[in-house]
Amino acid sequence: MTIGKKSSAKPDAASWHALSTDAVFQVLNSGATGLAAQEARRRLKQHGYNRLTPAASTGPLKRFLLQFHNVLIYVLLASAGITAAIEHWVDSAVILGVVLINALIGFIQEGKAEHALNAIRNMLTYEAMVLRDGRHLKIPAEELVPGDIVSLESGDKVPADLRLLQVKNLRADESMLTGESVAVEKNATPSEDHAALGDRFSMAYSSALITYGTAHGIVVATGDDTEIGRISSLLRTVPQLTTPLLKQIAGFSRWLTAAILVLALAAFGYGWFIGHSSLQDLFMSAVGIAVAAIPEGLPAIVTITLAIGVQRMAARNAIIRRLPAVETLGSVTVICSDKTGTLTCNEMTVESVCVNSDEFTVEGAGYDPHGDFKLAGLSASINDYPELRELLRAAALCNNARIEQANGAWHLHGDPTEGALITLALKAGLDPDLLNQEMPRTDSIPFEAEHRYMATLHHDHLGHAFMFVKGAPERILAMCSQERHHGEDEPIRGAHWHRVMDEIAGRGQRLLAIAFKTEPLTRSQIEFADVENGLTLLGVVGMIDPPRPEAIDSVRKCQKAGIRVKMITGDHAATASAIAAQLHIGNGSVLSGAAIDLLSDDELKVAIRDVDVFARTSPENKLRLVSALQADDQVVAMTGDGVNDAPALKRADVGVAMGKNGTEVAKEASEMVLADDNFASIVHAVEEGRSIYENLKKSIIFILPTSGGEALTIAAAIMTGKVLPITPVQILWVNMITAVTLSLTLAFEPTERRIMRRKPRDPHEPLLSGFLGWRILFVSLILVTGTFGLFLHQHGLGASVAEARTIAVNTLVLFEMFYVFNSRYLYQSVLSPRGLFGNGTIWFAVFVLTGFQLAYTYWPPMQALFGSVDLDLPTWGLMIAVASSVFFLVEIEKFFIRLFTDHKSNG
């Protein structure tokens, strides 16, 4: 068998599962210490990066053509057809031109948005633990090559196709490959030669999720050669650019098309039977209504706003995995957050150590291993306290963390809780590496939030075997039957230790108990049953993990924004309560996981209305809490990191996974990933989510009255039997030129300062709520009155039709220039320096648009195309005066809305 070829149709690829591990090593030319770094580099060149070739997204031509696949565009194309049929060549050329420009803008913007989302998705690369040159290293999973030895643990996503070498209780969810959702138990013995994919128990396939246990495996295939690579055309999905809001808008477009057709037909019928207009005029009016009522720029604006929003969120460390979450975030009413790392710094420092009846305090901060042990204020040497030495030795051995000094600073590799214990041992002068050589580890049970302890088995060279266990004190205490007391094992003093624990936890310290057990020399493996009784307690340590300063501010911000923050932690109730008090979460009451277990779903729903702190919770408790909150009509964002959190993350309206310390399983289950694991980033994302929705509303409230005003103007002209005040080509000019200038500026609207002072949006509230409908109608009426009124007035005074139309077009554009300022805030007044000058892009757009309008009015080629004529200065004055009315009228309307509704504090 050779591994040189990079082909998915490798004839022998199917038999790795049936080979013995020795044979696999031989074929892949690898050994127990893994590959050498140089060999790995060579293989990387030969096999390429371990990633799937991205799906060829829809070809550019098809994507361009798809831009025309929209009912509104069909209406425009039909309009072009009609104008061509009646030989209005300029009109049909302009309509076609607009359709084309629109398609081009859509094409470019969609490409950009897709690109931006892809880039954000690529921020979520994952790492693999690999053995190279005998050392365990974390490397990007992309750099794995065949022959690499990889470790897996619960929560990991399998990074490549692996033949398993050593397995401990490994279960893998391979549903993406086999469709079977029940996790499969794995082992290292060769599977049957003809076994189907789902029955190859000796393999872990790329992209499978490890739901339990640990294993080592050797990489047999990477990238497109993996099993998932073969079928991945199904999985290589391009991110969907759709959200509930976009669907609503698509629905709105269909509804609008129907309305336009009815209106055009009615106008046609009215003009034919009552107005007795010529067929040509009638066709032009119908076309005019169609092009007027269609908000050509809207779809592009919505896509741009969403893409900008998602990029802004990514810049603030919140990576959106599923686009609809952008909208849901804006209506979140409860954020359920983990404590450790999210609300706290996750930089643990041991401050207290209790052995016997002595409580030592430990000096120093962070992972710098310098600091004295003190007893009753006096320096203490561990040589005088053998129990303390025993505890520190156990803490260093039952541990997977490492502390290293680089560039003068001390760095942690591994779990902070364990890092704090290593630092503690180093402070006492113990050397963890030396201890591990003296007492090598033979087996271990890794820490899981589910059982809340970790155990390791060690053998020394003098013929002794020990098991060391550390974990949540209540858990450990229940497994201990004696304690170490002046060199002897004595019956455990339960009441004493509970008092000690409450006292330390009351100071906000996180607790950990450490115990041991002597084992028969012959034991080489540990099972849960071995750990759960007969232990000897060595002592309890308390470590501080201060709240993140920015989390305190963010919690306050949430409370002002009508969002309740709930802290759900695996920690002790007293610790949780003390930290919650520092963060100003809750009113002091704490509900424990055990208490939650006793409540029915209905009781839980009621009980949690007044409680914001949940301690010693299990992942199942989290799931029940989300469900109970949702049953109480809350929109829930829930954080999680472990594999067992996945159900709760999936269930929550917005599942939030930790990017740094979270497992791949948690990330897959989430809508959003926090790049910095920080609570403040969730709050920023909520803020952005609200802001995006507001900006979309603003764009819509700006664009629709323009279309409405234009359509009404034409309808009014038909009803009154007057000539059209604006021809279809002129309408298209106005629509396109304002879409690419004014409308776009609202997508860049900065987040309103008051946005986090409002209550969350009702998720059931339709986009075009009563208020928006009213505002659109109100402004449409102002626009039609001003435009049509000025047209009639000037025409009445003797202006030619061409001149009156030039006035109408300019008035309409001026109306929009004024109205775009109103649209910056939906309810609040913009009569303030910030309101008028807060968004510089608007002024720029107004400046550019003025240039366009001057060209439209005075430049001969434009005059030829659009039938415009020169205007004099007084006419400009008149137009500006009329157009400015919208600005004042809308501000007055806002004043009354604020007066009579509860939008006083709203934007």
Q: What does the binding site for ligand ATP look like in residue numbers (CB under 6 A)?
A: 338-340, 415, 417-418, 447, 449, 452-454, 470-472, 510-512, 569-571
Which residues, including other chains, have CB under 8 Å from residue 77's CB and lie 6 or more apart?
A: 68, 96, 99
CB 340 → ligand ATP: shortest distance, Å? Answer: 3
Between 302 and 543, whose beta carbon lies closer to ligand ATP? 543
Between 222 and 417, whose beta carbon lies closer to ligand ATP? 417
| Two tokens, residue 463 | 């013929």
Between 83 and 417, whose beta carbon lies closer to ligand ATP? 417
CB 635 → ligand ATP: shortest distance, Å? Answer: 22
Tell me how crowded residue 554 is: count the other CB atoms within 10 A of its CB. 26
H or E element in which residue 822 lies: helix 801-822
CB 380 → ligand ATP: shortest distance, Å? Answer: 24
Give the Cα separation of 906 and 483 in Å (integer).
62
Exposure string of 267-295, with b = 16+ CB inside 10 Å and e = fewer, is bbebbeeebebeeeebbbbbbbbbbbbbb
β-strand 590-592 against 613-615: which pairing, if any? parallel
Between 342 and 634, whose beta carbon lies closer to ligand ATP? 342
Q: Are 288 and 727 in contact (CB under 8 A)?
A: yes
CB 472 → ligand ATP: shortest distance, Å? Answer: 4
| Two tokens, residue 29 | 């030319």
**Secondary structure of residue 413 in the 3-state scheme:** strand
Between 401 and 883, whose beta carbon lies closer to ligand ATP? 401
Give the Cα separation of 752 and 795 in Å (integer).
44
CA angle 3, 177, 222 (to 5 degrees): 25
CB 545 → ligand ATP: shortest distance, Å? Answer: 8
Give the Cα separation of 167 and 204 in Å (integer).
11
Q: Are 124 and 318 in contact (CB under 8 A)?
A: no
- Is 368 catalytic? The answer is no
Q: In the 3-class helix/strand/coil scheme, how is 66-94 assigned residue by residue?
A: HCCCCHHHHHHHHHHHHHHHCCCHHHHHH
CB 481 → ligand ATP: shortest distance, Å? Answer: 20
Between 500 and 747, whose beta carbon lies closer to ligand ATP? 500
Between 451 and 757, whose beta carbon lies closer to ligand ATP? 451
**Secondary structure of residue 331 in the 3-state scheme:** coil
Helices (H) and strands (E) in the chain, counts: 33, 28
Q: What is the largest CA-CA distance in the chain?
A: 115
CB 399 → ligand ATP: shortest distance, Å? Answer: 8
Of the residues 91, 173, 338, 653, which is catalytic?
338
Give the Cα separation of 258 and 575 in Å (integer).
62
Tell me how crowded residue 716 is: count the other CB atoms within 10 A of its CB. 17
CB 466 → ligand ATP: shortest distance, Å? Answer: 17
Between 642 and 725, whose beta carbon lies closer to ligand ATP? 642
Q: Tell me how far the alpha carbon of residue 233 is from its chain's centroid.
A: 25
| Two tokens, residue 605 | 């729903």
What secondary structure letter does DSSP report for 645?
A: G
What amino acid positions are annotated as catalytic residues? 338
